[in-house]
Chains A and B, each alone.
Chain A
Amino acid sequence: MIDSQIPVIQDKEHDKEKELEMLKGLKTVGEITAPNPRMTCRNVNVYYSGVQAIFGVSLDIAGNEVIAMIGPSGCGKSTFLRCLNRMNDTIEGCRVEGEITLDSENIYGSKIDVVPLRAQVGIVFQKPNPFPKSIYENVAYGPKIHGLTQNKAELDEIVERSLIKAGLWGEVKDRMDKPGTGLSGGQQQRLCIARTIAVSPEVILMDEPCSALDPIATAKIEDLIDELREQYSIVIVTHSMQQASRVSQRTAYFHLGYLVEVGPTPQIFTKPRHRLTEDYITGRFG
């Protein structure tokens, strides 16, 4: 009984190596370019302490679109997402190769300062992480440090506008000085979204923003994403294929660090062209 388990594990390892071998040189199926790209990624490789996690990914992110990233756990969705605003810089031993541009400027260029970059490419994390400060302070922090406002009235207005957009204003307008950490999980996540949009980024990265939320909060955030699309480009990582099909226009399927297939969302979910994509969305693994 125990004996039979060892080959199982070995098999898996072997499988992964074999699969990586098979994937070598894989060319992404589908149209990676977009007509009016906000961001472009070309041949992106990411290494964690020398171990490669992303293999030659090329992808455009268009203006005013929501692009969903799906794939099995550990396939590199978060890693790729974090490349787009250089959050990977903060990880010890992480190295990024290739070219990523924002509005035709290489964000890994030597002239680029990460501070304004992150003001332009905002990020919402999987786990809500409000600052342990008041709700107001949470939203006002970004505009404050970037000097976006001249006076308190303007700041108040940005805070209110951001909270309204994030669909949280009604719930918190009477307790703006209460700590943001005292909100419910779903409210915290919307607070984090409000905090991100308060600095008016051009692109918003969302790493499984709804994974800790109930269906009602999830629906609220999905509605919000839909609205935000009018002004921003949104890259969303999700494990829910229903969510991907509800909110996104394009979908990218990642597998073991490779971008296997990308295309219009309806096509990916109804007529996937790559076998791996088909296996994943039909639930054969992952």
Chain B
Amino acid sequence: MNRVAVNETISVMKPKRAIETVSKGLRKRYRAERRFRMLGLAAVIASLLFLTIMFISIFGNGYTAFFQTYVKLNVYFDPETLREDTLARADYPGLVKKTMRAMFPEVQGRRDKRNLYKLVSSEAAFQLRAMVLRNPDIIGQEIPVWVPADDDIDMLMKGHIRRDVPESERRLNDKQLAWLDRLSADDRIQTRFNWTFIRSGDSREPELAGILGAAVGSFLTLLVTLLLSFPIGVAAAVYLEELAPKNRWTDLIEVNINNLAAVPSIVFGLLGLAVFLNFFGLPRSAPLVGGLVLTLMTFPTIIIASRAALQSVPPSIREAALGIGASKMQMIVHHVLPLALPGILTGTIIGMARALGETAPLLMIGMVAFIVDVPQGFNDPSTALPVQIFLWADSPERAFVEKTSAAIIVLLGFLITMNAAAVMLRKKYERRW
């Protein structure tokens, strides 16, 4: 009786009619396919466009921060002011002023003199002091010294301050412009690579502010995050995926890990404030605490990525290992983990990249303070790159605008490096089976 039914089915389905129906639908199918492809292409183009606009605007604004205007002063290291017994405490700002006056003898009046002194950065005095302390023999000589210009001069040279507006709306008056023009004519003004920006910490003076403090702060914070979240995340993933029985408890844990990954990061900041600072009494603004807070945020991501990577290891590999008498631990360590490693590493790096860009939780634990010194250890007060961006973006000086963009460039540089590392690791360890 069954046979009969089957035969009937076959005889009803004439092959000719089937192909006709297929052909009729074919045009429509292809059209749908084309539409879908166009949509996808449009989406890709749109996202690339936004990315390009973002990069162009950030680089356009920020690259000038890597250069700084310097002024050449002919400094006479006057033995009168530089007494041997008080070299370290001598009046170096006065020395700078004297030099400036000597270069522009025609400047008279307190107001004009003060404006004249404003052409060079306050760093100039420290620079002279360092020179003298390093080599006291220069006392009594006249030596040309390049010192950083003030940030307003720097902005003017970079074209961010316009000359063609009325004097009252300008930060530099006509006399200052005239002096500058004379300096330029004498070849006393130069734009050089801004090592200060790369080598120093934050400062109230834009021409002295550097990114290193924040970069080191971020590095130390991420190091703590990595050292804690990677082992915790991988161990938890291995336990949940390979060893734990599948029951209601592990389901509950899984749901909660997913919840944890979705919690807004500021909540972790508040938690860190309450637990690490107020309860355990750890120092404020420290990379250690920042790392702990970011660990809370990162390890759920690592668990989820690692579990996905472990799940993607084919069961046949597990069976092969168990089948010749490997213990469960040997199976995991020798076979499953190596195969899951690219995925785990990718997930980890993506989690770390997210942690690198995180600002809100760090604000809560005080990593937002104004800190001049480059942190030397995990307990030193420090900031982090995104927080530094936040701080500079908030500063009124025009010169901090380019610093902000430059800090973003540095942060993006780190992010791109990390993501490239993720891609390379994946390529390197990718195996086919």
Contact = CB atoms under 8 A, between A and B. Distances in A.
A117 B325 CA distance: 7
A151 interface: no
B171 interface: no
A92 B326 CA distance: 19
A68 B316 CA distance: 23
Contacts of A125: 316, 319-320, 323
A5 B9 contact: yes
A123 interface: yes
Interface stretch (A37-45, A138-146, A226-234): A138-146
Contact of B339 (A130, A132, A142, A195): A132
Interface stretch (B69-77, B143-151, B327-335): B327-335
Contact of B9 (A1, A85, A87): A1
Given A1-B9, A4-B5, A5-B9, A122 B433 contact: no
Contacts, number: 77
B246 interface: yes
B2 interface: yes
B5 A195 contact: no
7 contacts: A8-B5, A129-B320, A131-B321, A141-B324, A142-B324, A145-B334, A198-B324
B324 A90 contact: no
Given A11-B2, A92-B246, A87 B325 contact: no
Interface in A1-18: 1, 4-5, 8, 11
A199 B325 contact: yes
A178 interface: no
A198 to B, nearest CB: 8
B43 interface: no
B8 interface: yes
A90 to B, nearest CB: 6
A92 B322 CA distance: 15
Interface residues of B, number: 27
B316 A129 contact: yes
A87 B432 CA distance: 25
Interface of B: 2, 5-6, 8-9, 12, 246, 314, 316-327, 330, 334-335, 339, 431-433
Nearest to B339: A132
Nearest to B11: A1
Contacts of A118: 322-325
Contacts of A74: none
B238 to A, nearest CB: 16
B92 to A, nearest CB: 68
Contacts of A130: 320
Nearest to A141: B324
A90 B322 contact: yes
Contacts of B432: 132, 181
A127 B9 CA distance: 35
Contacts of B327: 115
Given A87-B319, A125-B316, A145-B330, A119 B5 contact: no
Given A131-B320, A142-B324, A145-B330, 14 more contacts: A1-B9, A1-B12, A4-B5, A8-B6, A90-B319, A118-B322, A118-B323, A118-B325, A130-B320, A141-B326, A145-B326, A145-B334, A195-B320, A198-B324
Interface string A119-158: 1001101010111100000000110011000000000000
Interface centre among A4, A117, A131, A179 (most CB of B within 10 A): A131
Contacts of B2: 8, 11
A1 B8 contact: yes
Contact of B325 (A1, A5, A116, A181): A116
A92 B246 CA distance: 8
Nearest to B314: A129
Contact of A115 (B325, B335, B339): B325
B431 to A, nearest CB: 4
A90 B335 CA distance: 16
A132 to B, nearest CB: 4
A150 to B, nearest CB: 19
Contacts of A142: 324-325
A265 interface: no
Contacts of A179: 431
A11 B1 CA distance: 11
B410 to A, nearest CB: 39
A199 B325 CA distance: 9
A192 interface: yes
A118 B322 CA distance: 8
Contact of B324 (A4, A92, A199): A199
